[in-house]
A and B are shown apart, each in its own frame.
Chain A
Amino acid sequence: MIWFSALVLIPLAAVVVTAIDGGWDVFWTTITNGQTAAAIKLTVFTAAGVTAVNVVMGPLIAWVLVRDRFWGKSVLEVLIDIPFALPTIVAGLVLLSLYGTDSPIGIDIANQRPAVFLAFLFVTLPFVVRMVQPVLEELELDVEEAAASLGASRFTTFRRIILPSLTPAITAGAALSFARGVSEYGSLVLLSGNLPFKTEVTSVRILSSIENDNVAGAAAVATVLLAISLAVIVVLDLIQRRVAARG
């Protein structure tokens, strides 16, 4: 407990305290500062967009991994985990090699907004897939057969039976994916160029404040990110409770 407090809680509390120290006005001016606001906006919107893609692609990938059988499926399984295991800075480099200046397919999005999107897409890939997969595996075939024998077509079965069972997992995965996107830093360093007003994300903004010794400013922006993280955790907790009630 003490260890957890010393390592996690006290430092995080320090961030909030430092942010508040300067008073509400300073806090507000900092986060509404043009460059910072642009960074926050870019981060949140891109993370939301990426999450939307994941909400569609994640269940799709999970579906193929669980229900389909084909040669090379185990390779796909490994591919899903790579973004999670890969150091973020390496992830940035990896993406740069295909979508950067030396792109073998002629797509160069380095230092542009799509690069931020791509980086987020890469690092958040596993979340929805890995949340949905076990739920899909545990879905009893019985239940689908029951729906079929009651006259439901395959599409209706999917929409009325399978999808609602997956919704909590998808939402949880989406929340995690959003949180991860918002807080992403490492993969962007090389890929996005961190151009103010264009490709600079919140984490980068905090870092430059730290480097300029503007600790209060950094803490203010960090508090915004912390609040988002906390919100995500609350969402996850609510989902878990609801699922537990469903049994």
Chain B
Amino acid sequence: MADTLIRPPADAPPPVEERRRPPRVRKTPVTYLLRFIVTAYLFFLVAWPVSLVVTHTFDNGWESIRSLLEDPDMVVALQLSAYVAVWSVLINTVFGVGMSLLLVRYEFPGKRLLNSLLDLPLSVSPIVVGLALVLVYGGRNGWFGPTLAGWGFDVIFSTPGIIMATTFVALPLMIRELVPVLEEIGIEQEQAAQSLGASGFQRFVRITLPSIKWGITYGVVLTLARSLGEFGAVKVVSGNVLGQTRTATLAVEEKYLNFDQQGAYATAFLLAMVSVACIVVVGIIRPKNNH
């Protein structure tokens, strides 16, 4: 990196005085004005609406949550969401680690292109994702769909399709977490391990994996949040069959459109709880990560 030029030499004493100097915060009227604008903006855009969902959920105390959990269709939907999310996290973790290593450690033609295309799932509309999967894996006239169906393996309008759609949209999250970490740790440690006689597998398990474990954890949490919450792509590929391929997010829409607002708010509340929990977990992990 270009920074090596300006990095202080090892023998230079640490700039003690600089560290003792606390960051200066000059309070001017502008400071307070900006603080006020930002707080108000976030309050009206995020905080208040979110808190309303919480209060709506508890309009009747725990009643709405209870009735939700007693509804067998809803239980199936929640289970399906969890099941899909777990699979998506597993797949994205395994392939995410593999892809990240590939991107950081190896040179191959088209690497830059691949690197850029990796961001596609984040910026493509979920509906387009769903459509794309239907076109390829659709049971009736997709590219591979009929063949797979011939083997008795339905993708679209069944669970594998939902898992694929979810994995697709959450794909870049793990890789984007791991690539910078891998770039930063470099390969010196692994080379040291190699010189000490460690095999490729041992190096991976004993050197690489421990040093990227926080990156993986962070990636898992993000992937989980994204997977649980995916709606558009799942809607296209799932068929939304009650009790079979209806996920929790699809249930929110349906309940709301069927004027079951309480149920919709309660389901939304459960999903929101999970995602807020994910943010908090990430917030706790992050400081440890950059010690």
Contacts and interface: CB of A to CB of B under 8 A. Distances in A.
Interface in A10-25: 10-12, 14-15, 18
B2 A11 contact: no
A82 to B, nearest CB: 5
26 contacts: A4-B95, A4-B114, A7-B167, A8-B117, A8-B121, A8-B168, A61-B42, A63-B34, A67-B25, A79-B42, A82-B46, A87-B252, A89-B229, A90-B249, A93-B264, A122-B45, A179-B122, A183-B127, A189-B253, A207-B127, A210-B131, A210-B134, A215-B135, A222-B131, A229-B120, A237-B116
A210 B133 CA distance: 12
Interface residues of B, number: 83
A49 interface: no
A150 interface: no
Interface string B101-126: 01000000000101011111111111
Given A11-B132, A63-B34, A85 B225 contact: yes
A65 B41 CA distance: 13
A94 B132 contact: no
Given A4-B114, A203-B128, 18 more contacts: A14-B142, A61-B42, A64-B38, A76-B42, A82-B275, A86-B275, A89-B253, A93-B265, A97-B52, A98-B52, A183-B123, A185-B127, A186-B126, A219-B131, A222-B125, A222-B132, A226-B128, A229-B120
A18 B133 CA distance: 12
B107 to A, nearest CB: 14
A233 B249 contact: no
A15 B228 contact: no
Closest 3 CB pairs of A and B: A87-B229, A183-B125, A11-B132
A162 interface: no
Contacts of A83: 46
* Chain A, interface SS category: helix
Interface string A179-207: 11011111001100000000000111011
A95 B50 CA distance: 8
B50 A222 contact: no
Interface string B243-254: 000000110110
Interface string A54-75: 0001001101110111101010
Interface string B22-37: 0111000001001101
A80 interface: yes
B53 interface: yes
B231 interface: yes
A104 interface: yes
* Chain B, interface SS category: helix
Interface string B132-160: 11111100001100000000000000000
B3 interface: yes
A90 B31 contact: no
B230 A87 contact: yes
A174 to B, nearest CB: 13
Interface string A116-133: 000001100100000000
Contact of B143 (A10, A99, A204): A10
A176 interface: yes
A15 B135 CA distance: 7
Contacts of A232: 123
Contacts of A180: 123
Contacts of A104: 52
A61 B45 CA distance: 13
A169 interface: no
Contact of B123 (A3, A206, A233): A233
A236 interface: yes
A64 B30 CA distance: 11
A88 interface: yes
Please indicate which of the listed interface residues A7, A70, A87, A94 has the most CB atoms of chain B within 10 Å of its own CB. A87
Given A60-B37, A190-B253, A90 B23 contact: no
Given A8-B168, A95-B49, A88 B280 contact: no
Contacts of B23: 141
B265 A68 contact: no
Contacts of A67: 25
Given A7-B171, A8-B117, A233-B119, A78 B34 contact: no
B193 interface: no
